[in-house]
């Protein structure tokens, strides 16, 4: 690994952190877990209003590669999450976090995938939007997709239970 790449990534992450600190989008808090490692971040995302996630506060981690922003970070919720686009281990499956270039499955256009013009803020806003409007066409949690499509009341009830758990209730 080129040491220069790591320092470029570090400068970029420091700049993005400063921006997020000064102009945090509503419902989102994020930053490095420790000042010693800017490549591991923690985020807190508030459940969007008028969704079954409303009232929840969902912790997640962002792990940045050394060649950031050329490659996207990986995002993973560290609490239980029930959502069509979140794997059971908490890993977020969303176009903006997919490696740049053409989709081998020809599902996404390259413009929907990661590019170096994206930012932590755009990722977190995309995830907030994803919570409000799941994409059941490209599900990460197949069981959740089935319930989302066939029984919205059951889906909402499961999510609301999850929300209570994240709040320790």
DSSP 118: -
What pLDDT was estimated at residue 1?
A: 44
Residue with tokens 């209003």: 49
Rounded to whole angstroms, the Cα distance separating 153 from 139 reads 19
CA 8 to chain centre: 23
Q: Residue 150 above 90 pLDDT?
A: yes
What pLDDT was estimated at residue 67?
A: 93
Q: Which domain holds residue 154?
A: 5-166
Residue 16: name the closest of 48, 64, 59, 58 by CA: 64
pLDDT in tens, 83-140: 999 999 999 998 889 877 665 555 556 667 788 889 999 999 999 999 999 988 878 9
Q: Residue 82 above 70 pLDDT?
A: yes
Q: What is the CATH number of the domain that holds 66?
A: 3.10.110.10
Residues involved in catalysis: 93
What pLDDT was estimated at residue 71?
A: 92
Tell me if 63 sits within 8 A of 39, measured CB to CB: yes
* Torsion (CA) 106, 112, 115, 120 in degrees, nearest 10: -130
Rounded to whole angstroms, the Cα distance separating 6 from 17 reads 16
* pTM for the full predicted model: 0.88
How sure is the predictor about 35, in pLDDT bands with cuts at 50, 70 and 90?
Answer: confident
Query: How many domains does one find in the chain?
Result: 1
Rounded to whole angstroms, the Cα distance separating 60 from 77 reads 4
Name the residue with higher pLDDT: 153 or 138.
153
Q: Average model confidence (pLDDT) for the chain? A: 89
> In this structure, what token pair is assigned to residue 151?
């029984």
Q: How would you write 7-21 as a 3-class SS string? A: HHHHHHHHHHHHHHH
């Amino acid at each position: 690994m080129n040491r220069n790449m790591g320092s470029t990534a570090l400068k970029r992450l420091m700049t993005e952190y400063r921006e997020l600190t000064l102009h945090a989008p509503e419902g989102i808090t994020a930053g490095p877990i420790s000042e010693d490692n800017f490549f591991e971040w923690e985020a807190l995302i508030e459940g969007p209003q008028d969704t079954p996630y409303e009232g929840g506060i969902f912790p997640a981690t962002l792990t940045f590669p050394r060649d950031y922003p050329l490659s996207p970070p990986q995002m993973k919720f560290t609490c239980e999450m029930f959502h069509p686009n979140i794997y059971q281990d908490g890993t977020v499956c969303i176009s903006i976090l997919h490696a740049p270039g053409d989709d081998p499955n020809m599902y996404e256009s390259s413009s929907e995938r990661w590019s170096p013009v994206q930012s932590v803020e755009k990722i977190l806003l995309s995830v907030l939007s994803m919570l409000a409007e799941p994409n059941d066409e490209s599900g990460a949690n197949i069981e959740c997709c089935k319930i989302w499509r066939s029984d919205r009341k059951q889906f909402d009830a499961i999510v609301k239970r999850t929300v209570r758990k994240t709040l320790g209730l």
